[in-house]
């Protein structure tokens, strides 16, 4: 019995499963097939993900990467709360260990401000 699908997502990693989830969210009655070459999903990069939710500190202010980080972070925290998945916002500590690194540290602080990063000190 071959069932027709509305969508076929190739790859069962972070991106593929995210795409499939968003398709299902937007079209709840759609039939979605996920094609994965491994015996389980999330066996490559997804498996080695460190679990860090980036703020976009290092990206050029106003860039798509900075914007995607900020929006993605908000979406991730919303998802975690919605699904009652425990998480901890522990922050990130960036330090200058040499006098000549202070200028770069100040520049990172400015980027963080322009990118809308939270809890900058």
Query: Is 54 a known active-site residue?
Result: yes
Length of the chain: 121
The one catalytic residue among 29, 44, 54, 83: 54
Cβ neighbour number for residue 20 with a 10 Å cutoff: 20
Of the candidates 39, 55, 58, the one whose C-alpha atom is nearest the C-alpha of residue 47 is: 39
Q: Are 40 and 13 in contact (CB under 8 A)?
A: no
State the catalytic residues. 54
């Amino acid at each position: 019995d071959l069932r027709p699908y509305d969508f076929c997502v190739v790859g069962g990693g972070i991106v593929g499963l995210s795409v499939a989830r968003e398709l299902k969210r937007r079209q709840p009655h759609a039939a979605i097939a996920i094609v994965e070459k491994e015996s389980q999903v999330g066996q490559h990069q997804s498996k080695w993900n460190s679990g860090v939710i980036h703020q976009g500190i290092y990206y050029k202010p106003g860039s798509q990467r900075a914007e995607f980080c900020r929006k993605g972070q908000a979406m991730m925290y919303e998802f975690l709360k919605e699904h009652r998945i425990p998480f901890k916002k522990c922050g990130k500590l960036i330090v200058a260990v040499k006098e000549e690194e202070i200028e770069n540290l100040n520049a990172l602080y400015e980027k963080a401000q322009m990118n809308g990063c939270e809890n900058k000190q």
